[in-house]
Structure 1
């Protein structure tokens, strides 16, 4: 058994890739790099990548991947093939977690279909559809407007009228939140931190104003863990804020996390042991990912 470690040439993902390699080294587990880019730092074709992967793959091997948004579209045609080859329980992220990445419309449909507490929202193609949605839900401006993809709130804004760019996702604005809670579920483990909104803004993601609370509302972790179990996610980060009644609701999710923020959390919670609080100081998200996936991971 060995671990096939995905490597590309884009952005901060190289830090994650190196951490995975270091942890595997410390635990004496064999790994091999699988490069997604060619010599010109451009993605290989799906056919070439799969051909090279099959040459080094042996039954029982694991595949571990962490990529930037720039690589997501290039990986879409090949990721299901990787899952079919190695098995969904032998890869990170698994196919379900990958499938929702950077797609707010898919996320919205899942929240609504399963009855998770979330803002009223809809994908609208023009002003007529927007007005119909608002009338149906009894909403008024301002509304939250989102593009279907994007990270760190770069494609999120408040709109005060129907004069906006279409199509877009529109969402009831849950006001009176000065922060959100980021809940990262990796296997049975929860790691959480608070993000305060930007100055004179409503957005918390990407603000850089983070806090690491001593205690976390259990109901938030329970909902996050329930969503992960319902859909077979091996790793998922959820953004929670309070609704108009003061109850917690989910607004977005992504399998990716900001390494430094998760690293700075002081505790983790074991969701399968009555949410027992454990000291996490110094442990990386990559450690929990590998511990949840690969047998024999005992130390960072």
Structure 2
């Protein structure tokens, strides 16, 4: 087994490479953006690429290349069942509904008048989301029909930029106040008001659809359960101050006693239906205390999960001790 790896410093690939070297798994580094990438993989059995939703070249090319290789019989990470719905909350709505997973009730419209009629009849608040974005980006609470109508009008008009410079700057200030980021980090955000990112320059506005979810009150946190093969680990993420969003808050609890094993069991159950290599499931609770899935994603930050004290196997047996989840990904790919 020889694995080709597209290396992006700071991504999963750092640890994939280290694990291959530690265990003497043959590998080679490739540049997925080379025109002859398929030819470069002719002597490899597998290809791994931690593509990112905010890297424009990744957005344009990754799924096309990975799924083409998978069609040709080359093992890839992430594979189709793991990655086709990545960074697409609308796709996740259809997928989770199709398999009967307990999704937070979600609504998508492709017609302005239908959306406006729904907005007039529904009860508020609701949560508005663009299909792409992580860390609670492109997510807002809608408290009235008037607010919903404005969002619907924009969705079927000029649309929404996927990178909101002002919202991003506000988030940088929040992290600075909570001592999660430096002053330079804030100043860089101010600079982005004048000189935006390459991603923002290249990515077109989101338009032609509008997506809402039910607002589930009473949750001061969410529970993220990450399933990789037959193992799972979890963290509790607390909502931001004076906010309803937990993703990206930086306030995390890792201890096993804080985790709800019902969510772990449910994540294993759903993942069997999905047939995915890796999925992170974000859970909240309805008014009766039942867990609901907010959204899913194959990718996650690297370092924050190093503090997890252990993991569960598929039998919900707890395995105490540190681990490197990226190594499990290589194990999945390297199996015959």
TM class by shorter-chain length?
0.7 to 0.9
Aligned to 1:64: 48
Aligned to 2:133: 150
Aligned to 2:309: 266
Q: CA deviation at 1:110?
A: 1.4
Aligned to 2:331: 291
SS at match of 2:256: coil
Spell out the pairing of 1:242-261 with structure 2 (5 A cutoff): 242-261=285-304
Aligned to 2:105: 120
Spell out the pairing of 1:89-238 with structure 2 (5 A cutoff): 90-125=75-110, 128-133=113-118, 139-160=122-143, 161=145, 162=148, 163-164=150-151, 165-166=154-155, 167-215=209-257, 216-238=259-281
CA contact (8 A) 2:130 2:138 kept: yes
1:133-152 Cα shifts (integer Å, max 9, x gaps): 467xx741110000011111
Which of 22, 25, 29 is equivalent to 1:26? 22
1:32-63 Cα shifts (integer Å, max 9, x gaps): 11212xxxxxx334xx2223223x33xxx222
Q: CA deviation at 1:29?
A: 1.3
Aligned to 2:70: 83
1:126-170 Cα shifts (integer Å, max 9, x gaps): 6532354467xx741110000011111111111123221323210
1:57-76 Cα shifts (integer Å, max 9, x gaps): 3xxx2222212222132223
Cα distance in structure 1, aligned partners of 2:34 and 2:114: 41
Aligned to 2:197: none
Q: CA deviation at 1:23?
A: 0.8
Number of equivalenced pairs: 273
Cα distance in structure 2, aligned partners of 1:68 and 1:113: 26
Aligned to 1:40: none
Cα distance in structure 2, aligned partners of 1:77 and 1:288: 24
Unaligned residue ranges in structure 1 (runs of 5+): 37-42
Q: Residues 125 and 159 of structure 1: is their aligned pair in 2 closer, same or farther, counting only changes over 3 Å? A: farther
What's the TM-score, normalizing by structure 2?
Answer: 0.76
SS at match of 1:237: strand
Cα distance in structure 2, aligned partners of 1:181 and 1:159: 23
CA contact (8 A) 1:141 1:159 kept: yes
- Work out whether 1:2 is the aligned partner of 2:2: yes
CA contact (8 A) 1:62 1:86 kept: no
1:264-296 Cα shifts (integer Å, max 9, x gaps): 11110001xx21000232x22211212333249
Unaligned residue ranges in structure 2 (runs of 5+): 156-208
What's the TM-score, normalizing by structure 1?
Answer: 0.85
CA contact (8 A) 1:139 1:172 kept: no
